[in-house]
Amino acid sequence: MKLRKLQEVLNEKTDYLCINQLNSMKKHIFLVVGATTMLIACISNQEKTENRMKEFISAYEAKAIPLFKEASLASWNANITGTNEDWTKSEKASFELAKIFSDSADFAKLKELKESGLVKDSLLARQVELLYNSYLGAQVDTALLAKQIKMETEISKKYSNFRANVNGKELTDNQVEEILHSSKNSKELQAAWEGHKMIGPLVAEDIIKLVKHRNMIAQKIGFTNYHEMSLKLSGQDPAEVTAIFDELDNLTRGNFAQLKNDIDTYFANYYHLKISDLKPWHYQNRYFQEAPEIYTVDFDKFYEKQDPVKLVASFYDGIGLNVDAILAKSDLYEKPGKNQHAFSTDIDREGDVRTLDNVKPDSYWMNTLLHELGHGVYSYYNDRNLPFTLRDAAHTFTTEAIANMFGRLATDPVWMKNMGIIDSIECNKITDVSHKALRLQQLVFSRWAQVMYRFEKSMYEDPEQDLNQLWWDMVEKYQLLAKPEGRNMPDWATKIHVALYPCYYHNYLLGEILASQWYNYLTTNITKDQSFVGEKAVGDYLKAKVFMPGARYYWNEMIERSTGEKLTAKYYAKQFVQ
């Protein structure tokens, strides 16, 4: 009996130590009985631990899968009807799902399993890592968490209630944007810009308190500060993210400076000013985060007579990623009470994928539909054999990258031509200016994202420093905007993301960078057609290399496996800088 067991064990893959023990044991047959016990003990340590992990996962899935589905459906319904009743149901379902992760006894089990170092099977080990981060983030004293939510709610109310006072009139953010976008009167522009900035002093102190509170929470669960915690729990190493931002800074600095000169020349002429007299309110939006309208193509007119839903269905089908099942479950058009924006959601990770949109025949909605269905195909074409936890994107920014890559096609003249939206004469006519507009948009956004990432990182490292100065140092360095003389105001506190959507902004830029890396790989190695229209190989590649692997690899390993390189800003620079 024991000998048979030894043979069985020999047939199993055993680790190096065990095989060595085994070889020496075989020479001394009289020792077999005792040795077998040792051997089994040696193997079964790993096996036992892995079995305990499997049990943990089974128990977790039994609780989480039904609650996940319930919470996703409740949120979907609430976004469609907008009724208080549905929102209450949705909040309750999300709370029940989140509660799973705050269980401290389960966390202790998981921690022990992780720290044993004995969960070696790659799929199990990856699940340990992801689940551990989810549980760790929820191990916060509920009183501290409640205080954080209360502070955030108070700040949120101040933002919502604030109206800029411009020459005695109360203006919403949209009205401020409208003035900045259309006025040519410097006094009016300055008044709108300064009026909006008056939210800063109202919230700055509250935000600093909140930042310190978030830091305390992070320190209690073992992190240096909240920024580090946020990134690490989402599976990002801050040093790795900073390295990508440095790389992109180096690749874009020179070209952005040239482009900024062009922008300044354009605006000096537009406002009849000297370049040296241009101020931050002369750039058509509050933060210089979007491209000023220097190059204009009226894309909307090309879509007036088109049906974006038909176009998106036929495009994705053409690349081998049919989306009929997604569209059938989606809610595509405006309704009273319905969420006015757009999103994509994976209800059950088993094929029930939906997108919410408010489609109109224009270029914005063409871009948005391509974008949302990019998220959709990422979810829909997952590998149903993977465990539930791994049937997800490698990271939120990797699914954003796929969505961005497809969304960009809406204003790509070659795509529009190949989809039958414009003819080749029109295509040639708008190619150059379309590229310039996209390039300007990307470069302006990338410099702004540098400000956001570096400011937040530094603020959490030292919330006591002179943040007003830090903000303008970043704005001057990365966006090349000059601080108005003598200005010492908490302008950083006027950006709502700093207070309420912390440490996430960098993912928007990482998504753009990766979109370019995949686009370059696809157009170099998979197809010669830059529009992808009718190229089934594109869908085959994405399914095999991106969608099916789901979250089974660390995001940078997945990127390396799919493109041969880790995430790099090179291809973003190639597409938009040169």
Interacting residues with Zn ion (CB under 5 A): 403
Residue 5: alpha-carbon gap to chain centroid: 50
CB closer to Zn ion out of 403 and 427: 403
**Each residue of 533-564: b (16+ CB within 10 Å) or e?**
bbbeebbebbbebbbbbbbbbbbbebbeebbe
Question: Among candidates 261, 267, 262, which has minimal Cα distance to 180?
Answer: 267
Residue nearest to Zn ion (CB): 403
DSSP summary character for residue 331 = B
CB closer to Zn ion out of 5 and 341: 341
CB of 398 to Zn ion, least distance (A): 11
Residue 150 sits at the vertex; the CA angle it makes with 149 and 153, to the nearest 5 degrees, is 85
* Cβ pair 399, 507 in contact under 8 A: no
CB of 394 to Zn ion, least distance (A): 15
CB of 186 to Zn ion, least distance (A): 37
* Cβ pair 571, 519 in contact under 8 A: yes
* Cβ pair 153, 82 in contact under 8 A: no
CB closer to Zn ion out of 373 and 427: 373
In whole angstroms, give the CA distance from residue 416 to residue 403. 18
Structure tokens at 103: 């269980």
CB closer to Zn ion out of 368 and 531: 368
CB of 375 to Zn ion, least distance (A): 6
Structure tokens at 364: 């914005």
CB closer to Zn ion out of 402 and 569: 402
CB of 519 to Zn ion, least distance (A): 16
Q: Which residues touch 465 (CB under 8 Å, ≥6 apart)?
A: 458, 459
CB closer to Zn ion out of 403 and 542: 403
CB closer to Zn ion out of 297 and 370: 370
CA torsion angle for 47, 48, 53, 58 (degrees, to 10)?
100
CB of 535 to Zn ion, least distance (A): 23
CB closer to Zn ion out of 318 and 376: 376
CB of 409 to Zn ion, least distance (A): 15
Is 171 in a helix, a strand, or coil? strand
CB of 117 to Zn ion, least distance (A): 37
DSSP summary character for residue 483 = P
Instruction: State residue 450 phi and psi, 5-degree precision.
Output: -60, -45
